[in-house]
Structures are given as structure tokens and as C-alpha cells.
Structure 1
Amino acid sequence: MEKVIVAEANTSPSSSEPRIICRVCQKQFSQYTCPQCNSRYCSLQCYKRHSLRCTESFMRENVMEELKQVQPDDETKRKMVDILKRFHSEEEMNSEDDGGETMLSEEIIQKVLSGEEIKLEDLSPEEIKHFRRTIASGELSKLIEPWTPWWRKPSARSISLSPEGCQLVKPLDVQSSTVTISEIPVGPESPLQPLKQLMHGEPSPLLTVHVIDVLYSYCFTLRLYNGDWYSDPLSASTMAFSMSKVLGDVGRPETVTEALAACIEETCSPIYKQAGGFSFAIGLIDDVICLLSLGTHALICCLCDFQRLFQAGERMLKSENINKTERNKTTQKLRSAERKVYFLMCWVHEQPAETWSTLADFVKVEKASLSQLDLGGESLKAETKRMSKPNALIHEV
């Protein structure tokens, strides 16, 4: 096809190259080239008009290619932002005849199409609002490959730690601030301390209940982050606080029923209504049962992963632009949660192996009772209080 080239009359040496007229409208100088067919165009409207099949194919191929490469590492956030912009560009192209305005500005879309990096800060307040609304609606979930929890993989049944509760092989040349991502979370790098060095007297018998609360919070957080808390550990830590009564310092459940009921109630609260509600909460109890069934070494790796989350959250907090009072308050919460998780880790290490299979069976019984409720709000809270029996767990385990 013949290209129309027009040279400007007065050009400086730095701009002496000829300029090409837009192939679509034949009115404006072209500024962009289609990555799929190399056609020259001047604007978003002309890009849409030049070949709908071409644009749809290109956008879909790039979305799928990006999705295949997404891994929960330090680059995940940037890659996902790029995927989402491409997805929205495709959606706007498919609805070009609707006569409505595009969600993203032409400047942002052109940056995306040319391969430039896009940050959330580049979006206008209206674009950010629309973006968050799209996430909340679940519209983007079809682009994300379902995550299989590590505790449900066959390799989770063969976790081995040293007699001191630490890794059998220590990693070399790994900085403490670096988050290592693997199929199964690794255990502690150093031997766990004996409980007698961490406290005076005997540990509380309610620790068996508290570990249920903490495990549920861990599974909840990883499920909502699709296995990737590394991209935003500070927000993930905040989510864990809101779910766990023990880590959030808002309660001390005394029975398994009380602990699970509080977790279910929080999961079904309006703030997490998009997560899946009651059925999602019951599924999380299955996750807790699965972790308990894996035994001591898997539980230590789980708690160690949780500890690393709070450590990473504290590091991220240092770079946040917030007032000193709020920073100190959040730092104290993170450090308190980290200490509690470490203490639980040491306590788990010293418990007999049969403790966890017995506890898993007990949680199964409680799950069967709670599954029949399917009540909301105050009704669930009142019913579980009626079902709870003080010290019931202590007699069972």
C-alpha cells in the first residue's frame, strides 16, 4: 500500500526526517505504529478503526503472555498493573460503538501500547476509582490463574527440619531483607529457642486454641493475596491483624468453637464480602485441618512464613509517608505479632507429634457443627456462644 509522506517546509537538522500521514484518517501526522501490523496512526480512535481484529488479537495475546510470566516476586506489582491496563484497553476497544468515554485517558493507553511502565500514581483519581471498582467486582479474576496453596501440594508431606527446628541446609549469601520465594516456605535459619528461655513457668493450655486462630489468619491472608503477600506485605499484615484476635490483641479465645466462630464472623463481615462469605470461611477451616494434618515441620514452616510477612511489613512501613504517631503504633503491632508467632513456633516444636492429628480431628468435628449454621452477623455470634463450652478443648487434647 502506498504511503503518503509530507515533509515540512522549515525543518531543523534535528527534525529533518519526513513525517507520515495517518493511514486511517489521512488528515493528521502519524505518531504511533501498530505493534501487530506496523500500520501508522495518529490517535486512539484511529488505532481502534484501523483493524478491530488486529487490535483484539494483539491485546489478548499480550494479556495471556504476561499472565504466563507473572510470578510472586519483586516485579509482580508492576507486571500486574501492566496487565490490568492492557485488559482495560481491550475492553474499551470492544465497546467502541457504545459512544461512552474510555475509562483510561488516551495518554495512559498510548504509554501502555508503546510498552512504557505504568504506575498506579500515573492514574487520575477517577481512573483509580474505576480501577478499584473493577477489582472489587471480581471482573479481573478471570485473568488470574487459580493458586494452589502450598499445604495442599504433595511436596508438603515430605517437609524435613533439623531436630532443633531449623533448615537442614542453610542458604548461602542471602541477605536478611531478601524474601525468598519457593514452592514450600522454608523453615527458620537458626535453631528454635527452648520455651524455658522465653518464659517463666508453664505455657498456657489455651495455646492450642490460639494456634487455630493464627493458622486461620495465615490461610485467610494467603488466599486473599492469591499466595503472593510479597507484593504488599504491609497491607497483608494489616489484613492478618483484622482476622486474628490473638495477633490483633483484641481477644483471647478459650475454645476452638469460639476461635473459629470469631474468624467466620470476621470473614463474613461487609469489609470482606467479596471474598466468598460463609462458604469461603468453611473452606479456610479445611485449610487449617490440612495444615494440622501435615504435622510439626509443616506448621513450623507455616509460622515462619507468617513471621517473615510481619518482618517484611515492618521494613515496608519505614518507606511509607505517614505521621510519626501512626508509624510507631503500627510498628509496635508488627513487632508484637512477630514475637507471638515466633513464640508459637517454639511451642509447636516442643509438642508431641500426635497433638496435631488429635487437634485436626477436633477441628473437623467443630467444622461439621459450624457448617450447619450458615447464619450471618449477630445470629452466628449468638449461636456459637451458646455452643461454646469453657475448657472443652483442654479435656479433648
Structure 2
Amino acid sequence: MSKESTESKQTRLCGLCDDKPSKYCCPRCEIFYCSLDCYKSEKHEGCSESFYRECVNEELASYQVGDDAKTKMIDILKKMHENEDDHVDEIENVEEIDSDDGSEIDLHTRIQDLNLDDPDALWNALTEDERNDFEAMLNQGDVGTLIPQWEPWWLFTKEKKLIDDVKESNEETEALKKCPEIKSVPKFTSLTTVKPSPAIRFNMANIVASYAFIMRYFNGEIEPMEAGSYLLEICTNLNSNNNFDDPESAVESVAQRCLQSELIQTDEASLDVMRNDTLQILQGPSEENKLHYTKATFSHVIQIFTDTKSLCRRNKMDLKDNSNNKGMFSRKFPEHNKNHLPNIDISKVKKVIKKLEYYLSFLDSCDNQV
């Protein structure tokens, strides 16, 4: 009987198209289906119409957010609703789509006063159908497609011309406004009287490459503890004081660390983007402001570790896993909390901040030479 049962499962047709072999089972109605297209089809509309709606909540809930981010998230949810209900001309018709579940029409109301840093609070606000839809989408790996692609602040590059173009000068001014604020640090001569090693330039490239990868990896949304952990994971200059003899090895070290890390899932295409981003940051927005992007990078990394240090102190007692204090979401999806992150040594973070300030001070003294 077990053999027949196994063969039956392997040959069971999709219950929605009755054509292709089924691969998945709907967590709510338990119908077997073959693909996302069938799952979202009109035949399965009763289960799937709110499929994408709440997934963004968890993605954004893992970050520190304010009113602007909350408004942005609500806008995303509205757009998703419009996209998946393209047979409905007006969004006010949502009530007709699922008249037996009036809770869907007050989605805005249900989330507007919630703390988006608390995934358990968001989970508790969902209906049972919405939770099932979220789990189905999470299992299929489609959540990331709903998040708007972040545009890095270092992409602007001014072309070299014999005569400056007023329009390009204005574009550069606007581009620089998007950069992280450059921090003030002590003068380099006040920090040391020893001439730095030539390796300092290559070591800084190792940090820039690590930062560029992390910013893309988290789509520009940085949570200090997580970002600090990942930076230490892939940046050997900050983590273990490794020195490099050339910029190529400094950047390739980051690529190899990303591929070897248990925390990170990446591919060669993403690493090629990292290499290009590193070059753009080091080249700067223009010949006149060649160091601006690099200074902005180090300033942001300093801020990340400064915030990490503060959080380590404030949340020292909460870093250990305590299942008794977990909510329903945290228990159901343990892989989405931060307990997978390695413990951060506050004393190491302090040393890292000092090193970063040293590098930034060195940049200030370089007179537009990297």
C-alpha cells in the first residue's frame, strides 16, 4: 500500500488545471497544485486573493521604522491589492471580493497603530486566512519580489570635461545630498605621528567592499545589530586586523567570505555588483570630490557600529534565546529573529569604531588622494 500511495502522490495531477503533476499543497484548502500561476488563478481565487498582502509586514517589521516607512508600507499593500485584483476597477470593491471576511477591508486600520518592530503584534493582527497565505508565499520564496528595489546613493558619476556643465554641477550637488552625513573626526596628526603603512589604502578597500555588499544585501534597510554582525563576518580587516597588499585581494577577500559564510546566501552575479559598487565608491562622484563617497561610507559604518554598541548595552539581557517570552510569530518562524547572529563583543566594537575613525581621519588628510 505504501508503494501505491507513493506512486499516487508522484502522479497526482494539479487540482486546478488538471494537466500538470502537482508539486504543492495549499495550506488552507489543501488542494494540490502545480505552480504559482495556478495558485493565483480564478479557480483558486477564494484562497489566494490576499496572498501577497501581509508578507511585506514581516519584511519591514525587522527594521527600525518610523511614520514615513509605515506610510510607504501601506502604499505598497494597496498597490499589491490592485495588482492581484485586476478584474476590479476600484479598490473600494474589495468588500465584494471576500464578503465573508470583512476584516480585509480594514487592513489599513488594523496596522496603522501597530509597532512595526514587533512581528508578533503584526502576526496577531492577521486573520487565519492571511496567515496561511503568508506561509504559502514564504515557502515559495516570493516575498522579495514585493519589496521596492533600493537605489544606492553612490551611483552618480560626473563625466570629465574641459568645461564644467552647470546642469551636471547641480546634479552632483543633489547626488551628494543623498550620501550619509560625513562625520567630524580628530585631525590625523593628533592621532599619530607615525606614517601609515601603504597597506592602509588596501585595507580601506576591504571595508568599502564589505559595506557595498551589505547595503545591497539588505536592500538599503540597515538594522545596526544585524549589519554590524554581517560586516564583521565578511570584513577581515575589521574583524581580525588582516592587512592586504593590493586592492584586488582586499575586494576578493570579501567575495570569498560571502561565499563561505553560513549567514549569507549569494551568487557570483551579486558579487560582481559588489565589485562594481566598490569601484564606484572609491572613484567618487567627480574628480573634484573623489573622496566624498569613501568618506560617506566610513561615516555610515561608524554610525552602524556606534548604534550597535548602544544596542548591545541596552539589550544585553535580551540577546539570549528565551522561548518563554516569544510570541506566536517568533515561535512559528524562529529563523526570522536575530538569534542566529553571532554574539558581538562590545570591546571589539569599540576598537572597530576607533579604527574606522582613524581611517576617516586619514582620508581627511589625503587631499583628494586615495
In 2, distance between residues paired with 1:328 and 1:72? 20
**Which of the pair has more CA radius of gyration?**
1
Q: 1:286 aligns with which of 276, 280, 285?
A: 276
Question: Aligned pair 1:274/2:289, yes or no?
Answer: no
Q: 1:244 aligns with which of 221, 235, 242?
A: 235
User: Residue 110 and residue 336 in structure 1: after superposition, are their counterparts in 2 closer, same or farther (change >3 A)?
Assistant: farther
Question: Aligned pair 1:259/2:274, yes or no?
Answer: no
User: Residue 317 and residue 257 in structure 1: after superposition, are their counterparts in 2 closer, same or farther (change >3 A)?
Assistant: same
Q: 1:313 aligns with which of 308, 314, 325?
A: 308
In 1, distance between residues paired with 2:344 and 2:261? 25
Question: Aligned pair 1:233/2:224, yes or no?
Answer: yes
In 2, distance between residues paired with 1:264 and 1:283? 11
Shift of 1:79: 8.0
Contact kept? 1:317, 1:327, Cα under 8 Å: no
Shift of 1:147: 1.1
Residue aligned with 1:271, SS: coil
In 2, distance between residues paired with 1:249 and 1:77? 39
- Residues 278-307 of structure 1 show CA distances to partners (whole Å, capped at 9, x for unaligned) of 221121111011011111122212211111
Aligned residues: 257
Residue aligned with 2:195, SS: coil
- Residues 297-340 of structure 1 show CA distances to partners (whole Å, capped at 9, x for unaligned) of 222122111111111112222232147xx999621122222111
User: Residue 215 and residue 138 in structure 1: after superposition, are their counterparts in 2 closer, same or farther (change >3 A)?
Assistant: farther
- Provide the residue aligned with 1:212 in structure 2: 205
Contact kept? 1:268, 1:281, Cα under 8 Å: no
Shift of 1:159: 7.7
In 1, distance between residues paired with 2:140 and 2:46? 29
In 1, distance between residues paired with 2:49 and 2:301? 42
User: Residue 328 and residue 55 in structure 1: after superposition, are their counterparts in 2 closer, same or farther (change >3 A)?
Assistant: closer
Shift of 1:348: 1.1
Structure 2 matches for 1:1-397, cutoff 5 A?
73-74=65-66, 76=69, 115-116=110-111, 117=114, 119-121=118-120, 138-153=141-156, 157-158=172-173, 183-188=178-183, 190=184, 192-229=185-222, 232-249=223-240, 251-269=242-260, 271=262, 274-275=265-266, 277-294=267-284, 295-320=290-315, 321-322=318-319, 330-353=345-368, 355-356=369-370
- Provide the residue aligned with 2:332 in structure 1: none
Shift of 1:115: 0.9
User: Residue 224 and residue 329 in structure 1: after superposition, are their counterparts in 2 closer, same or farther (change >3 A)?
Assistant: closer
Select the structure with the greater relative contact order (CA < 8 A; seq sep ≥ 6): 2
User: Residue 265 and residue 195 in structure 1: after superposition, are their counterparts in 2 closer, same or farther (change >3 A)?
Assistant: same
The aligned amino acid for 1:249 is: S
Contact kept? 1:220, 1:284, Cα under 8 Å: yes
Shift of 1:63: 8.0
In 1, distance between residues paired with 2:135 and 2:55? 19
Contact kept? 1:267, 1:278, Cα under 8 Å: no
Contact kept? 1:82, 1:112, Cα under 8 Å: no
User: Residue 209 and residue 238 in structure 1: after superposition, are their counterparts in 2 closer, same or farther (change >3 A)?
Assistant: same
User: Residue 241 and residue 156 in structure 1: after superposition, are their counterparts in 2 closer, same or farther (change >3 A)?
Assistant: farther
Please, what TM-score do these two structures have when normalized by structure 1? 0.52
Aligned-residue Cα RMSD (Å) equals 4.9
- Percent sequence identity is 16
Shift of 1:342: 1.2
Structure 1: tracts of 5 or more residues without a match: 1-43, 46-50, 92-105, 162-181, 357-397
User: Residue 184 and residue 55 in structure 1: after superposition, are their counterparts in 2 closer, same or farther (change >3 A)?
Assistant: farther
In 1, distance between residues paired with 2:309 and 2:218? 18
Deviates more, 1:216-225 or 1:73-82: 73-82
Shift of 1:253: 2.2
The aligned amino acid for 1:225 is: F
Residue aligned with 2:182, SS: coil
Shift of 1:221: 1.3
Contact kept? 1:67, 1:143, Cα under 8 Å: no
Residue aligned with 1:227, SS: coil
